[in-house]
Amino acid sequence: MRDAGAERREGNVKIYRGYVIPILGSAIVCLIGGFAIAGRVRASAASGFSSKPAPRAAVVLVRRGTVANTVSIAGEFLPYQEVELHAKVAGYIRKISVDIGDRVHQGQVLAVLEVPELAAQVQGADAGVRHSQDEIIHAQNEVTSAEANHAPLHAAALRLKQASEARPGLVAEQELDDAQAKDRAAEAQVDAAKSALSAAHQQLDVSKANHSQMSAMSDYSRIVAPFDGVVTWRYADTGALVQAGTSNSSAQPVVKIAQVDVLRLRIPVPESLAASVYQGEDAEISVQATGENFTGKVARSTDALDRSTRTEQVEIDVPNQKLRLAPGMFASVNLEVQKHAGALMVPIQAISRATGNSSVLVVGEHNRVEAHDVHTGLEDANSVEVVSGVKEGDRVIVANLGSYQPGELVDPRVSAFGANAGADKRGEQ
């Protein structure tokens, strides 16, 4: 029989015969209730139902297009033509009519030389021509005189011969021989006169050739512009003595002119890319000095490498009618050295290289994320060629790639294809 005095309650404990016994009924009920709620949550998750919506994913469709490998090279503007003009003959500068910066036209006289000895030689050549002409007249007269002397002698010899043949013995043989000898002598004089006339004509040709040479040398006393351009340097002033450029390799030029309405933009293409640059290929040109950006085409190349730099020189013709560009300026040139048309393309933001291999996240048929390893090809600033791993029309995620896991259910939203695809953020409309 329990002793009532030995048992009493104080709060959530009982004291029985000096022992403290906790009352656990309410705590056990709470604990059991918590286990039951947790079991229901796990059961709900296991059955595939969740109150949280699927995260949104910015995707683009894999499409076909043209992708190119672009290389940027610094180039220098050069005049289309540039030449230093020398004097053909030595002399003093009588007049120089241009200075640096002057625009000149083809055939314009830039400077005039004074060459006294050359003027005397021209006069001598003129006199030689006139002398040869007089010699021709004299020779013609000699021919006329010789022919006049030959005519009666020939007629007399002919009559005597005919008479001798008609009546043999009528004309003495000695008389006939004398007449024929005089006829042949007169005929030889005619031939000699004609030869002298021919020689006089040939001498006239020589005199005229000499005169032409002297006249040509006299024309070289005027220095003219060979093409339209601008004077970029002036080396001599009025009264300066200049040497003939043909007789002295160190002779100083008179002026330098350059054609600048069209410029050559020369760029050194590395050896590894030289075979990929073709005539007519488009080029994007940016000039930092003027802030201009424009397009051009490859006009020509050396088709050979510079052994000292291992580069091929490529030129682009750039119109410069307003003369905003100047020789010596530098420009940045973007060349498409490789181009693939009809290639499968994805934005560069869609490619993940975290593991060392290239991969993309594809949203499958049931809106679940799939990881695909891909083999990539050419790349440009915005796009990547995909050789294998995806097909045209696949939906690939282009933003926050690290936020998605394979098998995860997502809400795909089609985004713009291109450089701005990465601007779409997870959860944006």
- Tens of pLDDT, residue by residue over 372-415, are 999 998 887 788 999 999 999 999 999 888 889 999 999 998 88
Q: Are residues 175 and 262 in the same domain?
A: no
pLDDT in tens, 265-321: 999 998 888 888 888 888 999 999 999 999 999 999 998 998 888 999 999 999 999
Query: At a CB cut-off of 8 Å and minimum separation 6, what does 340 contact?
Result: 66, 67, 68, 377, 378, 385
Cβ 333 vs Cβ 284: under 8 Å:
yes
CATH number (domain holding residue 379): 2.40.420.20
pLDDT computed for residue 272 by the predictor: 83
Q: For Cα atoms 360, 385, 284, give the angle at the middle one, nearest 5 degrees.
A: 130
Mean pLDDT is lowest, of 122-136, 165-179, 228-242, for: 165-179
Q: Are residues 260 and 307 in the same domain?
A: yes
Packing angle of the helix pair 173-219, 116-166 (nearest 10 deg): 160
By the 10 Å C-beta count (0-12 exposed, 13-18 middle, 19+ buried), 175 is classed as: exposed
Nearest Cα to Cα of residue 141 among 187, 207, 194, 204: 194
State the Rg of the chain over Cα: 53
Find how far residue 289's CA is from the centre of its chain.
20
Find the helix or strand (DSSP H, E) in which 123 lies: helix 116-166
Cβ 66 vs Cβ 236: under 8 Å:
no
> Which CA distances in Å does 41 have to 22, 33, 222?
32, 13, 105
Cβ 301 vs Cβ 314: under 8 Å:
yes
Q: Are residues 326 and 359 in the same domain?
A: no
Range(s) of the domain holding residue 156: 116-220
Q: Which amino acid is at 141?
A: N
Give 268's strand partners: 313
Q: Are residues 190 and 272 in the same domain?
A: no
Q: Domain count for the chain, please give it.
A: 4
The answer to whether residue 94 is domain-embedded is: no
Percent of the chain with pLDDT over 70: 84
pLDDT in tens, 85-115: 998 888 899 999 999 999 999 999 999 998 8
Q: End of a domain among 338, 372, 403?
A: 338
Mean pLDDT of 38-49: 42
End-to-end CA distance of the chain: 78
Mean pLDDT rounded to a whole number for the chain: 82
> Which CA distances in Å does 81 have to 78, 146, 304?
8, 64, 22
Q: Are residues 208 and 271 in the same domain?
A: no
Q: In the sheet that 7-10 helps form, which strands lie side by side, from edge to edge?
A: 7-10, 13-16, 19-22
Which two structure tokens, joined as six digits, stand for 255?
Answer: 């002026």
